[in-house]
A and B are shown apart, each in its own frame.
Chain A
Amino acid sequence: MNKQLSIKKWKIFKLPPVIYMLLCLVIIFSIATPQYLSFQNIKNILMQSSTLMILAFGQTLVVLTQGTDLSIGAQVSMVTVAWITLARKGVPLPVGAIIVLLLTSCVGIINGLLVAKGKMPPFIATFGMQNVINSFTLLLTAGAAVTYSSNIFLIITESSLFGIKAPVFIAAGIFAVTWVILNRTKFGMGIFGLGGNPEALALAGVNTVKVTVKAYAYAGLLAGVAGLLTACRVESGQPTAGAGLEFESIAATLLGGTSMREGRGNVTNTIFGVLLLSVVRNGLNVVGITAVYQSAIIGIIMLSAIIIDSLARQSQERN
């Protein structure tokens, strides 16, 4: 009994495989290029990963409820285009931001209702939604990118503290909020319950539909925030700005050890999943691999990581 407990204290054995993979990659890249581990580059990696980080936190909540949200990438695109379009129409940027955040939250609520009330498989409901949103985005500007210039963009992306830029702090703040939601609220308990033992949750009298809808709405809200940050960075609205981000966020979440079936996972490890993807992308840039090759290479590395992770877990469970 006591011995068991003392072994459990050695948490190092329970670290998710993603951390080892992350370490390996960092070592490989820093051997390949000496300036890889420079402060400047680490700052770059953090900066580049902030958007995906925010998305992945929302995705983590959804995945914990045994769901998936394939529409958040499309929501990011929509937010950039809608926000900029509103601004061009004369709506002040802060007001526009609130409008688009409400919009993505509503999309999330619809997703949640389709899944919880309509009993649809989550991936198909959100896949359908992804296309509806993409279509809407294209219709807004007839498929073109729209630009707008404002100091606010620069203030948000470029202001920095101790050399670290604002988006990183925003991502950190959202991490803190998400962590509190998961670990210190009733809603968070509901999310773990939905994933781990939905029958027990319902038996205790918790409204499972409400929990599901809130989870998807939160993912939508964060997609909105990520979209706003993206728009600030590119100072324009791009109909394809978020393409593929939904998959990267799922990959990051899975790599962070969040399970699609048993309500296991936490938002802290998702950070490592995101960092893994960012390190790969950044490393390819630093090593000098052209953009043409990157998509395929990132895909292969992502898939290999998911396979390694899945196999490692299967063997862990067997012992």
Chain B
Amino acid sequence: MKTGETILSVKGITKLFPGVVALDHVDFDLRVGEVHILVGENGAGKSTLSKCILGAYVPEQGTITLNGTKKSFKSPRDALKEGITAVYQEFTLIPYLSVAQNIFLNREYRKKNGLLDINRMEKESRELLKLINCEHLNVSSHAKDLTIAEQQMVEIAKALSFHPQIIIFDEPTATLSEREVGSLFEQIRKLRASGIGIIYISHKIQEFTQIGDRISVFRDGRKIATFGIHEKSTEEIVNMMVGRNISQVYQRNPNLYSGESLRVEGLCDYKEKVKHADLVVNKGEIVGLAGLVGAGRTELANLIFGIDRRKAGKVYLYGEEVLGKITPGKMVRRHIGFVCEDRKSKGLALKDSVAWNITAVSLRQLFPHGLIRYKKIKNVAESYRERLKIAVPTVQRPCKFLSGGNQQKVVLAKWLSAHVDILILDEPTRGIDMGAKMEIYELMNQLSLEGKSILLISSELPELIGMSDRIYVVHEGRIVHECKRGSAEFNAEDIGAMMLNVYQDAEGKAEWDE
């Protein structure tokens, strides 16, 4: 096949998940020897599309045509047979197997006596790695001894061992340093030159011009546009990604409180995900933390709340330093709440009832003498069920039967019933419907009117901009910008650029962190 010919074309693909249209009649095509970038916010549909192409999901409607023939993939193995493979953002390597064994996992070469032909696997692995200029890697060392970038190269070698026509890269640079990204791109260009079609999913806009040929922008399960890489400016792309009518959804009323509630100084962790973070949250204020996935926002919240151990730095509450080891228990007693990102595995005890979950934190406040009265628990739970409009027939129902939005309300009720003064919200509206979202925004406004402080972490820029009074931008573990509501740069384009660290201010001067 010649460069420029269409190798894959997808028509009218629709994929439904309970309560969500993940893909809505999406058309898409990929040419031989091009890097096609998919871009959009979380949940926009780009990953779902790639999984449909890979056979991991079976779409409800639409067709996938490969080299002119229609295909329907029932499993990733079907797609693999046709030469479609992927390099995931999360690695599929087995830590205590050698590089060669990982590359040939479940396709091992064996000698006549049935034992593994280690020499042959290592020889072929070396050849594969040589293709991507990684002959320095020791094919007999354990996968866990490699750096992340090296693991990624092994993943690429593994993908190449299938002799692919199409490789999908799912945010491959999320965890790489700048230099490592450079060599990754070099390999991708080589792959492209060898006639492989490449689908590249990314959040990082500065990468697009370096690596891409065409871009497709996704939003809310639909493809907004496809165009050549140089046809549109970065600003226009960001606009397309986030563009929606913001003013109706987000209504933020400023209020009159003053005085700081939470102050963090020079906070660092052991994993080097957070580097010297300084931030201040005032009473009655909603402060946003913007940043890409993996920028260190959740890690920062975990440090403040005492889930992870801090390496250095101080946390002040109402001007008073929190001394000693920070533990969640200590923070709860000082009226700090944390609605964490992973609701199901860390936020709720799913098989316990709504009532137990709502009172999980406030139990000791409700019953300081240690004896529980069920009636009081029920009353408290009922009052929060009404206040937050949690749709559940009885508070004795286990949480696993609730929808995502109602589960999130139970988590919020858990912290409200403990009368927290400072609330950290990590992706509070992820995976919930619009109605529940707006109720949560309303609640945030109410809380701030009562003088309570909120630290909001979100990947949805419109939400951050709509709800925050102030936004800190986090990039690679550092807080690189701070902007106030009402200032010139308090808009999606500029903050989006700051998240990617490509922001240029009014004088046109690039601000580089390092």
Where the two chains meet, the residues of A that have a C-beta atom closer than 8 Å to any C-beta of B are 8, 180, 184-186, 189, 192-193, 195-197, 199-201, 203-206, 262-265, 318
Q: Return 18 A-B CB contacts under 8 Å, by A number.
A: A180-B115, A184-B118, A189-B101, A192-B97, A196-B94, A196-B96, A196-B144, A197-B92, A199-B92, A203-B76, A204-B92, A204-B106, A206-B106, A263-B94, A263-B96, A264-B95, A264-B96, A318-B270
B427 within 8 A of A: no
Which residues of A have CB within 8 Å of B108?
186, 189
Which residues of A have CB within 8 Å of B160?
none
Which residues of A have CB within 8 Å of B110?
186
Q: Is the CB of B115 within 8 A of A206?
A: no
Which residues of A have CB within 8 Å of B144?
196
Within 8 A of A (CB), among B161-209: none
Q: A193-B105, A203-B76, A203-B92 are in contact. Are A185 and B114 (CB under 8 A)?
A: yes
Q: Is the CB of B95 within 8 A of A262?
A: yes
Which residues of B have CB within 8 Å of A186?
106, 108, 110, 116
Q: A203-B76, A204-B106 are in contact. Are A184 and B97 (CB under 8 A)?
A: no
A278 to chain B, nearest CB (A): 27
B145 within 8 A of A: yes
A297 to chain B, nearest CB (A): 34
Shortest Cβ distance from A264 into B: residue: B96
Q: Is the CB of B94 within 8 A of A184?
A: no
CA gap between A249 and B115 in the complex, in Å: 28
Q: Is the CB of B97 within 8 A of A205?
A: no
Which residues of A have CB within 8 Å of B93?
197, 200
Which residues of A have CB within 8 Å of B330?
none
Where the two chains meet, the residues of B that have a C-beta atom closer than 8 Å to any C-beta of A are 76-77, 91-97, 101, 105-106, 108, 110, 114-116, 118, 144-145, 270
CA gap between A205 and B77 in the complex, in Å: 8
Shortest Cβ distance from A188 into B: residue: B116
CA gap between A186 and B95 in the complex, in Å: 16
Q: Is the CB of B105 within 8 A of A204?
A: yes
CA gap between A196 and B114 in the complex, in Å: 24
CA gap between A318 and B309 in the complex, in Å: 11
17 further contact pairs, Cβ within 8 A, besides A180-B115, A197-B93? A184-B118, A185-B116, A186-B106, A186-B108, A189-B101, A189-B105, A189-B116, A192-B96, A192-B97, A196-B144, A200-B91, A200-B92, A201-B105, A204-B92, A206-B106, A262-B95, A263-B94
Q: Is the CB of B116 within 8 A of A206?
A: no
Shortest Cβ distance from B114 into A: residue: A185
Which residues of B have CB within 8 Å of A205?
77, 106
Shortest Cβ distance from A207 into B: residue: B106
Which residues of B have CB within 8 Å of A204?
92, 105-106
Which residues of A have CB within 8 Å of B105?
189, 193, 200-201, 204, 206
A42 to chain B, nearest CB (A): 32
**Pick from A180, A185, A199, A263: contact of B95, CB under 8 Å:** A263
**Pick from A8, A197, A265: contact of B94, CB under 8 Å:** A197
A269 to chain B, nearest CB (A): 13
CA gap between A22 and B105 in the complex, in Å: 37
Which residues of A have CB within 8 Å of B114?
185
CA gap between A192 and B115 in the complex, in Å: 16
CA gap between A192 and B101 in the complex, in Å: 11
CA gap between A192 and B108 in the complex, in Å: 15
CA gap between A186 and B270 in the complex, in Å: 37
CA gap between A196 and B106 in the complex, in Å: 15
B343 to chain A, nearest CB (A): 21
Q: Is the CB of B77 within 8 A of A195?
A: no
